[in-house]
């Protein structure tokens, strides 16, 4: 039934593609503005703050840590707020306001305190866009298509991750701060327009019931249960939903902390813990590449910052092209095969990165080509591991949500879940550069990659044991 006064252009503003585009642009803007500013920070500190050269590196590290720290601290509270609000668009807009304030402060800040506050606001905005944005994606497409959509979105935003540092350096060298922050402001304007216009499915359904998504996380499970009750093909099939409910049912009378943050009750499930571990290791790997490719390129090939930035094209192009296909495979075949194959594949791919360091090719040009080829091989693995974590975690929490009616509230625990996902992902981004940088300095680039490969192998093993449920051969017969 249609309400008397629906919002202007309701149908296209609540269109699935428009909602997903808005979220994708929000994530893109967050990563792009983060990367755009990074190559400019050392110059800002020297020219505006008048820091000496020996202090620049420590202050750059502190500013990077302020961003990651804010993302870690605010992800969970933002998830709680988002799950308790009637519409997710409100916190989504608040996150954009924080990003706008951060960009203005970075553009005009004349002291270190203002720059630190700006980076904290940037990190807070990142927590909002990743927590609320991913919850909006699940609300819009449901669990059945989550892998494909997440893989496509991650492929799109990888363009921003790729282009931002290069563009930041070029714009600063050609146009100064005006060019850098002018581009950032233009992108923020586009993001602002989209976030103002977007209307969530559940809000649109109040005006036009035909716009209600029929595949939400809760309705999808309810529909499957109804099908089982009305047309179960065998006695065994009819018993499966009941067994699953019992496995995920929580005791009555939970304490106040669980009632406030009910997602904590799910953390005893090893599937959810391993799903969050996948997100951490994924971020750790991305941060390791970000931290070590430029320095290794400078050591091996005497590359400048622009040439080192261009090396990321070899890493990110496979990610861009294969991300949607990898996400479709997760939806079609499940999270276990993708996570096992992705992290297992990365083990030899990471170890092979030692070849350019060992100078196995006769000339410099051949060594550069070899390094680019090996980075591309690693990009394939990064594409495969892009979506299993979110899909797996969403599936586990969906089962708890269905087995415990009323515990998680009207909107479910999904924003809280993505808050935890944002927290562990930000932790991976923070710890990755520190650990990989220390390993590179102490044991060399080749051995550093051996250690990271071992971490990937351990993650592949845990994926085999826990992701998508334990293998049949490890289960006790009942």
Judgement on whether residues 202 and 262 belong to the same structural domain of the protein: no
pLDDT in the model for residue 102:
86
pLDDT in the model for residue 202:
79
- Distance between CA 456 and CA 307 in Å, rounded? 28
C-beta atoms surrounding 123 within 10 Å: 27
Long-range contacts of 2-10 (CB under 8 A, 24+ apart): 2/207, 2/208, 3/206, 3/207, 3/208, 6/207, 6/208, 7/199, 7/207, 9/197, 10/199, 10/204, 10/207, 10/208, 10/211
Residue with tokens 């929490």: 397
Judgement on whether residues 73 and 196 belong to the same structural domain of the protein: yes
Beta bridge partners of 2: 208
What pLDDT band is residue 474 in, cutting at 50, 70 and 90? low
Q: For the residues 202-209, what does the mean pLDDT come to?
A: 76
- Distance between CA 149 and CA 43 in Å, rounded? 38
pLDDT in the model for residue 240:
46
pLDDT one-digit tens code per residue, 110-167: 888 888 888 888 888 888 888 888 888 878 887 777 777 887 887 777 777 667 777 8
Lowest mean per-residue pLDDT among 91-105, 142-156, 185-199, 449-463: 142-156
C-alpha dihedral (458, 152, 156, 345), degrees to nearest 10:
30
pLDDT in the model for residue 338:
92
Tell whether 443 is covered by a domain: yes
What pLDDT band is residue 343 in, cutting at 50, 70 and 90? very high
C-beta of residue 158 within 8 angstroms of C-beta of residue 125? no
Q: Could you give the C-alpha distances from 57 to 3, 42, 45, 52, in angstroms and in order?
A: 59, 8, 10, 10
Judgement on whether residues 287 and 401 belong to the same structural domain of the protein: yes
Judgement on whether residues 200 and 100 belong to the same structural domain of the protein: yes
Domain membership of residue 371 as a residue range: 258-472
pLDDT in the model for residue 475:
57
Residue with tokens 């492929």: 155
Judgement on whether residues 37 and 161 belong to the same structural domain of the protein: yes
Q: For the residues 350-370, what does the mean pLDDT come to?
A: 88
Q: For the domain that residue 130 is a member of, what is the CATH number?
A: 1.20.1250.20
pLDDT in the model for residue 411:
65
Judgement on whether residues 364 and 465 belong to the same structural domain of the protein: yes
pLDDT in the model for residue 478:
44
267's tokens: 């953390």
What pLDDT band is residue 462 in, cutting at 50, 70 and 90? very high
Please tell me the total number of residues recorded for the chain in this structure.
478
pLDDT one-digit tens code per residue, 230-249: 444 444 444 444 455 667 77
pLDDT one-digit tens code per residue, 264-301: 888 888 999 999 999 999 988 988 887 788 778 878 88
Q: Is the dihedral of CA 121, 77, 82, 335 positive or negative?
A: positive
Judgement on whether residues 124 and 269 belong to the same structural domain of the protein: no
pTM for this prediction: 0.77
Tell whether 168 is covered by a domain: yes
C-beta of residue 352 within 8 angstroms of C-beta of residue 374? yes
Q: How many domains does the chain fold into? A: 2
390's tokens: 């979110």
Please name the residues in contact with 150: beta carbons below 8 A apart, sequence gap of 6 or more.
134, 137, 327, 386, 387, 390, 391
3-state secondary structure of 2: strand
Tell whether 226 is covered by a domain: no
pLDDT one-digit tens code per residue, 368-421: 999 999 999 999 999 899 889 888 988 888 888 888 777 776 667 777 888 888
What pLDDT band is residue 314 in, cutting at 50, 70 and 90? confident
């Amino acid at each position: 039934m249609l309400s008397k006064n629906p919002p202007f252009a309701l149908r296209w503003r609540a269109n699935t593609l428009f909602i997903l585009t808005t979220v994708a642009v929000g994530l893109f803007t967050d990563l792009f503005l983060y990367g755009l500013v990074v190559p400019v920070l050392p110059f800002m500190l020297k020219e505006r703050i008048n820091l000496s050269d020996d202090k620049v590196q420590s202050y750059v590290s502190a500013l990077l840590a302020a961003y990651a720290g804010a993302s870690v601290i605010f992800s969970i509270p933002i998830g709680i707020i988002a799950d308790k609000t009637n519409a997710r668009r409100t916190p989504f807009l608040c996150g954009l306001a924080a990003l706008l304030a951060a960009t203005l402060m970075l553009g005009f800040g004349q002291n270190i305190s203002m720059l630190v506050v700006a980076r904290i606001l940037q990190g807070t905005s990142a927590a909002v866009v990743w927590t609320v944005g991913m919850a909006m994606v699940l609300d819009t497409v449901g669990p059945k298509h989550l892998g494909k959509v997440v893989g496509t979105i991650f492929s799109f935003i990888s363009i921003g991750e790729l282009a931002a540092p290069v563009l930041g350096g070029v714009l600063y060298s050609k146009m100064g701060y005006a060019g850098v922050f002018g581009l950032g402001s233009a992108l923020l304007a586009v993001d602002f327009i989209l976030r103002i216009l977007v209307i969530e499915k559940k809000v649109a359904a109040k005006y036009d019931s035909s716009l209600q998504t029929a595949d939400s996380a809760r309705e999808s499970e309810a529909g499957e249960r109804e099908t089982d009750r009305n047309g179960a093909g065998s006695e065994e099939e009819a018993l499966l939903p009941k067994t699953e409910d019992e496995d995920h049912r929580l005791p009555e009378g939970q304490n106040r902390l669980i009632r406030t943050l009910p997602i904590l009750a799910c953390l005893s499930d090893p599937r959810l813990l391993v799903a969050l571990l996948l997100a951490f290791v994924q971020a750790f790997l991305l941060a390791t590449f970000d931290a070590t490719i430029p320095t290794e390129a400078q050591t091996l090939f005497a590359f400048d910052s622009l040439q080192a930035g261009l090396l990321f094209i070899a890493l990110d192009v496979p990610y861009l092209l294969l991300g949607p296909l990898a996400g479709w495979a997760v939806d079609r075949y499940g999270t276990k095969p993708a996570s096992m194959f992705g992290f297992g594949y990365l083990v030899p791919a990471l170890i092979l990165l030692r070849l350019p360091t060992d100078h196995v090719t006769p000339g410099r040009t051949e060594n550069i080509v070899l390094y680019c080829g090996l980075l591309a091989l690693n990009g394939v693995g990064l594409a495969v591991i892009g979506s299993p974590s979110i899909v797996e975690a969403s599936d586990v929490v969906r089962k708890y949500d269905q087995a415990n009616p009323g515990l998680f509230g009207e909107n479910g625990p999904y924003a809280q879940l993505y808050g935890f996902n944002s927290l562990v992902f930000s932790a991976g981004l923070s710890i990755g550069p520190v650990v990989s940088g220390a390993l590179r300095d102490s044991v060399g680039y080749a051995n550093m990659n051996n250690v990271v490969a071992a971490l990937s192998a351990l993650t592949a093993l845990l994926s085999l044991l826990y992701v998508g449920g334990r293998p049949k051969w490890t289960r006790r017969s009942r």
